[in-house]
Each structure stands twice: as structure tokens, then as C-alpha cells.
């Protein structure tokens, strides 16, 4: 029986393809790219508009057609549901991975006998990656695992019970309904957060003198280390631009693509 593997992000997908090749397995890997931990989810399975509009705000025109990108994600999910192969979802203890698992469970809820999982944890990382893990929550994402580490876990794929699939599908529907700005993974539960959580970190890192935006953003990415949330540089830079627009931060260039070339500083105190 054929098998389709589902994983979050291009880096993780490339590592998984290599892991399968190492094991002599000619099996398909489907990469889902949307980081569901951040931004609105209401209507996320019905129309591309919600997620496309969000990512356009974050990244601007760095991707020419956001609607087409999100529609491609829709097509991959629809194909999973229509196929007859076994589906294996790979997930680590990050909120993005946990949301991906729930979204796939929702789409495969009518064919639960096809859904399987591989659970990854920090203990499964290669020794150097495990030693470098400094997050207070010990979270990790699938993109942090080497092909060799993934190959070791491949035989651990296991079916998900019908009861649990139903619960996962309901939890995905609840996440869409709550439509939070941020999401966290706390005590095996999806929790809601706000952009203000990140904004407070940014304001705390900003100084009165100009600093390279890349350095400030790096501090935000390192400081946002709770609840299984991994903040990308694009999300952190977007929040910097939003704070600048609100007068709470100053940036020399607020273009979405300017992160590597511009500087930021704390907003001047009102006189």
C-alpha cells in the first residue's frame, strides 16, 4: 500500500525526502507551507482570501500572487483527502506542527483509517542540535531534524484512533472559530495569544540609538521562546513595521524586503 508523508515547511520536506531515500522508500512527501501559528484562521478552509491577505501584509509583493499560493495549499489538502494512500503526518512539539496535524485530521475525518503520525520530540534530535536547544519550553519543529534523525523515527509511524481524529478535527474547527492573532501549545492544548505579546518584546529590545533591524529581530526570535511558538524573521519584522506605523518605533525603511539593510530605534518620547 502506498504512503504519503505530510510535513511542515520546505526545509523539513527536503530532509524527509532524503530520509526516505536513505531507507530505500519511494514515497511521496507533501509539504504544507502556511505557518498556522500566526494570523487569522477564520474561513481558512473555505477561501484563500483570509490567509492570502495576511501573508501579503507580512511579506508584501515578495510573492507575486498570494491567492495562488494559498490555493495551492488548498489543492494539496484536497488531494490528500481524495487519494487512497495511507497518510503519515510528522509533527514536533511546536504549535505550528500541532495545528498542521489538526488541519489534516479535519480534512481526513471521513477516512480516519488512512491517518497515521510520527511524533517527534527534542530527545529525537541529533546530539549537537539537542545541545543547542536553549528554549525554556524545549520546543522544536520538524525543520530542526536531520535526515538521519527522521530516518530513525520512520518505523515509529502509528495509526491515529478514530476517536482522537474526531477530537483533533474539532480542535482545528475551534482554532478557526477563536481566530486568535497568535497561538501557543501549552499543556497539550492550543491557547490563544495576541500580537501585543510580540510587540512588548520588540519595544523592550529597541534602544534610543539606531540598531540594525536584523539584530533586533534576532533578539525577538530568541526571546519568544514559550508556548511552542516559533517566530520567523518575517513575522518579527512585520511587527516592527506595524509598531512604526503606530508611532511606537522608528525604522529607516519600512519596506517588507528591507530587513537586512535598515535600522530601527525606540520612538522618541513625546515632549
For residue 175, what pLDDT is reported? 98
**146, three cell numbers:** 536531520
- Is-contact 238 175, C-beta < 8 A? no
Distance CA 19, CA 149 (A): 8
For residue 63, what pLDDT is reported? 80
**Kind and range of the H or E run holding 55:** helix 49-59
Name the percent of the chain lying above pLDDT 70.
99
Long-range contacts of 252-260 (CB under 8 A, 24+ apart): 252/210, 255/60, 256/58, 256/59, 256/60, 256/61, 256/62, 257/60, 257/62, 258/213, 259/213, 259/214, 259/217, 259/233, 259/234, 260/213, 260/214
Phi/psi at 133 (5° precision): -75, 110
| For range 66-88, the mean pLDDT | 94
User: What residue segments make up the domains of the chain, in order of their start?
Assistant: 3-178, 195-266
| For range 155-161, the mean pLDDT | 98
What does each C-alpha distance from 112 to 2, 117, 155 come to in angstroms?
A: 16, 12, 20
- Is-contact 141 32, C-beta < 8 A? no
User: Residue 67: how many CA atoms within 13 Å on its side-chain side?
Assistant: 3
Which CATH number applies to 3-178: 1.10.3470, 1.10.760, 3.40.50, 1.10.10?
3.40.50
- Whether the model clears a pTM of 0.85, i.e. scores above it, the answer is yes
Per the DSSP assignment, residues forming a β-bridge with 159 are 116
Name the percent of the chain lying above pLDDT 90.
92
Helices 162-178, 95-107: crossing angle, 10 deg rounding = 110
pLDDT tier, 64 (very low <50, low <70, confident <90, very high otherwise): confident
Asked if residue 21 has pLDDT above 80, the reply is: yes
- Residue that wins the pLDDT comparison between 61 and 123: 123
User: Residue 96: how many CA atoms within 13 Å on its side-chain side?
Assistant: 21
For residue 271, what pLDDT is reported? 53
Distance CA 80, CA 111 (A): 10
- Is-contact 87 131, C-beta < 8 A? no
Burial call 177-197: b when 16+ CB within 10 Å, e when fewer: eeebebbbbeeeebbebebeb
| Helices vs. strands in the chain: H and E counts, helices first | 10, 10
Q: Which residue has the cell 481558512?
A: 44
DSSP secondary structure letters along 156-205: G-EEPPHHHHHHHHHHHHHHHHH--SEEEEETTEEEEE-HHHHHHHHHHH
pLDDT tier, 134 (very low <50, low <70, confident <90, very high otherwise): confident
pLDDT tier, 110 (very low <50, low <70, confident <90, very high otherwise): very high
Amino acid at each position: 500500500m502506498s504512503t504519503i508523508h505530510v510535513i511542515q515547511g520546505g526545509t523539513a520536506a527536503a530532509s524527509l525526502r532524503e530520509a526516505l531515500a536513505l531507507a530505500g522508500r519511494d514515497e511521496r512527501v507533501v509539504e504544507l507551507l502556511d505557518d498556522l501559528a500566526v494570523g487569522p484562521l477564520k474561513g481558512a478552509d473555505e477561501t484563500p482570501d483570509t490567509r492570502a491577505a495576511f501573508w501579503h501584509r507580512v511579506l508584501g509583493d515578495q510573492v507575486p500572487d498570494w491567492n495562488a499560493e494559498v490555493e495551492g495549499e488548498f489543492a494539496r489538502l484536497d488531494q490528500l483527502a481524495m487519494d487512497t494512500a495511507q497518510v503519515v503526518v510528522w509533527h514536533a512539539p511546536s504549535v505550528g506542527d500541532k495545528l498542521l496535524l489538526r488541519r489534516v485530521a479535519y480534512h481526513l475525518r471521513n477516512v480516519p483509517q488512512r491517518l497515521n503520525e510520527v511524533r517527534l520530540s527534542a530527545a529525537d534530535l541529533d546530539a549537537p542540535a539537542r545541545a543547542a536547544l536553549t528554549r525554556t519550553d524545549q520546543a522544536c519543529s520538524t525543520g530542526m531534524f536531520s535526515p538521519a534523525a527522521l530516518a530513525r523515527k520512520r518505523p515509529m509511524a502509528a495509526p491515529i484512533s478514530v476517536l482522537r481524529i474526531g477530537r483533533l478535527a474539532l480542535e482545528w474547527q475551534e482554532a478557526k472559530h477563536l481566530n486568535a492573532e497568535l497561538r501557543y501549545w501549552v499543556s497539550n492544548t492550543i491557547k490563544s495569544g495576541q500580537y501585543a505579546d510580540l510587540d512588548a518584546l520588540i519595544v523592550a529590545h529597541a534602544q534610543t540609538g539606531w540598531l540594525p533591524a536584523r539584530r533586533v529581530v534576532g533578539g525577538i526570535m530568541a526571546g519568544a521562546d514559550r508556548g511552542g511558538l516559533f517566530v520567523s524573521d518575517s513575522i518579527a519584522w512585520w511587527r516592527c513595521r506595524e509598531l512604526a506605523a503606530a508611532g511606537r518605533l522608528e525604522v529607516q525603511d519600512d519596506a517588507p524586503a528591507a530587513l537586512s539593510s535598515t535600522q530601527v530605534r525606540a520612538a522618541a518620547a513625546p515632549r
